[in-house]
Amino acid sequence: MAPLVALHGLKVSFAGQPALRGIDLSIAPGEALGLVGESGCGKSVTWLAALGLLPGKARIEGSVTLAGLELIGAPANVLERVRGGRIAMIFQDPASSLNPVHRVGKQICEALRLHRGLTGAAARAEAKRLFDLVGIPDAAQRLDSYPHEFSGGQNQRAMIAMALAGQPELLVADEPTTALDVTIQAQILELLQSLRREFGMALVLVSHDLGVVAETCERVCVMYAGRIVEEAPVAQLFAAPAHPYTRGLLGALPPITGPRRRLAAIPGGVPEPWAMPPGCAFAPRCGERFAACDVGTPADAHPAPGHRAACLRAATPQMADTVMA
Amino acid sequence: MRQDASLLRAEGLVRRYTMRRGVLGRAVDVRAVDGVTLTIERGRTLGLVGESGCGKSTTGRLVLGLEAPDAGHVAFDGKPMPPPDTPAWRSLRAQMQMVFQDPLGALDRRLTISEQVAEPLAIHRIGSTSDHAERVAELLHSVGLRADQGARYPHELSGGQRQRAVLARALATNPAFLVCDEPISALDVSIQAQVMNLLLDAQERLGLGMLFISHDLRAVRQVSHRIAVMYLGRIVEEGEPDAVLQNPAHPYAQALVSAIPQPGKTGRIVLQGDPPSPANRPSGCAFHPRCAAAVPRCAVDAPILKPRAEDGRLVACHVAQGEADTLARAA
């Protein structure tokens, strides 16, 4: 199947310091892809760059295509039709994404006017339908509420309703549940799943939480210091993680069953953009590092179909075996 | 040191706030904490779990004596907690410390890390000024910070390093009791593991009693010897971590456990609605409007936290206690 969105060699730097160092990624129509990584790894910047939402001082190279349409360097009127229309995005903090001085319904009607040309009663009826769809009770009355009158979970539902206003082919959800309580997180994840099934919409879920991604997505990309270090179908990633960073992330997660052991914390911290190691960016924290890791950026190895890992250990299975044992 | 006696005992803690709705609105009584009883032993950790607004942070402040309870009392080391801001309370504070979620907010941006770690030593007049440098170096080392990082300012450190600095400062006075309020929520996964390991090391080394407040059940299981689940100001279930997590008795605890994201998990309990506001507490059991197991009694009669007949698990639920159909006992 032709990809819906394809990223090739996407690089972003701010004031000469690299934030993204070459992202290759494609998303099929209707697919759910998880993008996992720690703060500063570039998982949000990837989508801000793709949609032309980065400030002017950012230097962007590479290509992002939406069904063949190049988005990098595209004129503003093209991007405006894509943003919120074909690709919608929701963020971590719904309250700050909504305008506090306008009624929520008015903000959704604005999105409907921009992307679907709906006005007046038609827009309001559609806004009510969207509110019903995302599970906001008493939709007709709640359209006249202000964001502060909503709870955090309801604000996120309202944001999702607004994102759906343009009938997007791809929804990028950037940490959509991080600011919410766990029981509300479960509600929002459930909602995203059901909407995706209903509309055949592709979903990119950006999250630091491997558990959230594991449940929601079919394929996962793990990012570290501006690169994708591992990509695999979700079951494969959890059953046979090939990159030491992925193994480190999984090992750092406290188990909920079985004996309690000391957590295998990854030592040290993420490298700063101005002090990027010469070879593999993870090498300084890696317990499986050897001399070649410091020479150059490792190429992708393919331990299984649809599974890639940018690690020299993964490229030489016999070595990886001795490490795993 | 007595190993068996409880370090901290809180009984029937209540904390009310008055909230006015709108400019001319009527003052509403908000019970942030509504009758919480808990015990923390030396060298042991009680994990306190719940969602935002359930009163878990207020409970943390009450057991430290940072706020005086409206009812109930706190005993530290067998003696009643002195009122806040009295000389007796201040001298006790050397033995009780707190670690918050946001390390940048907890540190003074104008002082170096070493100066801040030395501050509690000066405040509580521990050791001579000449000994302080040595003690600070020892503390920084114990939390995995290098000596040269002591000369830095908070903004020059990463989030994980700042939380280490906060922990070093909290441990400066050799406290017996530590309250950790969401100490790892603001940190990345790999750094969370480092901080949890540090807390466990410090506990083992110093025999600390800890109250670990978190919404993250995985983290709570990792560090706690007992866990208590709070909902709207009350403890609804308490027990051994594995018992509670594998076989939660209270329907709210069941929903929380089922909400833990996990690869390949299906059949999650998705609760309807949002947590209610403490200003608008539902009648009877506060959880009943969201509870799938609720029976008519739950709407009128608030369950009390008591041991369950079969295994002694503390749970506040008519259904879990098997008393769902006996309506209205003589109170």
Per-residue pLDDT tens over the stretch B231-275: 999 999 999 999 999 999 999 999 999 988 877 666 778 888 777
Residue found by looking up tokens 């310091």 in the block: A17
A250 Cβ under 8 Å from any chain B Cβ: no
In angstroms, rounded to a whole number, what is the distance separating the alpha carbons of residues A311 and A245?
10
* B194 CB-near residues (< 8 Å, 6+ apart): A265, A266, A267, B144, B160
Closest chain B residue to A152 measured between Cα atoms? B274
The tens-digit pLDDT sequence of chain A (325 residues) is 789 999 999 999 998 889 999 999 999 999 999 999 888 889 889 999 999 999 989 999 999 999 999 999 999 999 999 998 999 999 888 878 899 999 999 999 999 999 999 999 999 999 999 999 898 888 889 999 999 888 888 899 999 999 999 999 999 999 998 888 888 888 899 899 999 999 999 999 999 888 889 888 999 999 999 999 999 999 999 999 999 999 999 988 888 888 888 998 888 888 888 889 999 999 999 999 999 999 989 999 999 999 999 999 887 654 444 444 3
Cβ atoms of B98 and B181 within 8 Å: the answer is yes
Residue found by looking up tokens 């008015």 in the block: A106
Q: Which of B199, B120, B103 is nearest to B155 (CA)?
A: B103
A50 Cβ under 8 Å from any chain B Cβ: no
Per-residue pLDDT tens over the stretch A267-299: 888 888 888 999 999 999 999 999 999 998 999
Residue found by looking up tokens 């000066």 in the block: B122
Q: Say what the pTM is.
A: 0.87
A55 Cβ under 8 Å from any chain B Cβ: no
* A17 CB-near residues (< 8 Å, 6+ apart): A273, A274
- Which residues of chain B neighbour A267 with C-beta distances below 8 Å? 194
- Which residues of chain B neighbour A41 with C-beta distances below 8 Å? none
In angstroms, rounded to a whole number, what is the distance separating the alpha carbons of residues B330 and B327?
10
Mutation pick from A145, A149, A182, A218 vs chain B, by most beta carbons of B within 10 Å, is: A182
Mutation pick from A155, A181, A217, A236 vs chain B, by most beta carbons of B within 10 Å, is: A181
Contact A256 B262 (CB under 8 A): yes
ipTM: 0.80
Q: How many CB pairs under 8 A join A and B?
A: 119
